[in-house]
Amino acid sequence: MNCDSIASSYRWIEYAVFGPYLERARFHWIDDLADAKNVLILGDGDGRFLARYAAANPGARIDSVDLSGRMLQLSERRLTKLGAGSRRGIRLIYADALSTDRLDGPYDLVIANFFLDCLDHAEHDRLIRNLAGEMALEARWLVTDFRIPAAPKRAWVFLMLTKIMYFFFHALTGLQNRELVDFSPNLIRAGFYRVRQRTWLFGYLFSDVWER
């Protein structure tokens, strides 16, 4: 997957399709998680979450890993606007999140906002297994993403929307995964349990905090 070509328009496409909802979802738990010390952000994209989180938790060490150079440039620009104080302790890492080579754990918080939907079953398995060894004993995951609601009357609308999104992401970025995969069994196997959940849009959007 290469998001370079959509990096500058990503935000505006998001607002056009979902209005403020994705932003509400990804920012929802920030204040509750602002006590973390060593944070890993996976596939943060244009850095909107990173900038908001860094402002809320200026003392944290934060590693933000992304596979798009253009997205990382946008993150860098946002951090520069925040000022030198907020930039301290933050590493922007151009790397595949499925590799642990550049990581510097143990992390007590891992964040995946609209990132796990890019991965298939095998990649979830690999990512969560790899990261288990990079996380502190008492660690948390924040996962914000899409899920097809259980109510059959609404499910088809969200199924269609999801198929369309995957079609466009595949065409524009080469994304290989084509469906939403439930990552929960992998987190449970790694010893985590869900402690908080908030949903929007009839359950299509969720933001969950997991702890171990």
Ligand X SMILES: C[S@@+](CC[C@H](N)C(=O)[O-])C[C@H]1O[C@@H](n2cnc3c(N)ncnc32)[C@H](O)[C@@H]1O
Which CB sits closer to ligand X, 4 or 148?
A: 4
Indicate the SS3 state at residue 17.
helix
Question: Which of 36, 40, 54, 67 is in the footprint of ligand X by CB under 6 A?
Answer: 67
Assess 76 for contact with ligand X (CB under 6 A). Answer: no
Where in 126-155 is the site for ligand X (CB under 6 A)? none
Q: What is residue 130's three-state secondary structure? A: helix
Between 49 and 210, name the residue whose CB sits nearer to ligand X. Answer: 49
Specify the pairing of strand 135-146 against strand 205-211: antiparallel
- Under the binding rule (CB under 6 A), the answer on residue 44 touching ligand X is yes
Sole binder of ligand X in the list 75, 113, 177, 186 (CB under 6 A): 113
By CB under 6 A, tell whether 47 contacts ligand X: no
3-state helix, strand, coil split of the chain in percent (to 5) is 45, 25, 30
- Annotate 72-101 with DSSP letters as a single string: HHHHHHHHHHH-HHHHTTEEEEES-TT--T
Question: Which of 65, 181 has the CB closer to ligand X?
Answer: 65
The site that binds ligand X (CB under 6 A) totals a number of residues, namely 19
Select the residue interacting with ligand X from 114, 141, 183, 204 (CB under 6 A): 114
- Residues contacting 120, CB < 8 A, separation 6+: 176, 177, 181
45 is a contact residue toward ligand X (CB under 6 A) = yes
Single out the residue of 18, 115, 146, 210 in contact with ligand X (rule: CB under 6 A): 115
Rounded CA-CA distance 10/25 in Å is 16
Nearer to ligand X, 43 or 149 (CB): 43
Nearest residue (beta carbon) to ligand X? 43
> Which of 151, 176 has the CB closer to ligand X?
176
Q: Determine contact, residues 21/200, Cβ cutoff 8 Å.
A: yes
Phi, psi at 59, each rounded to 5°? -85, -5
Q: Which residues bind ligand X (CB under 6 A)?
A: 1, 3, 26, 43-45, 49, 65-68, 71, 96-98, 113-115, 118
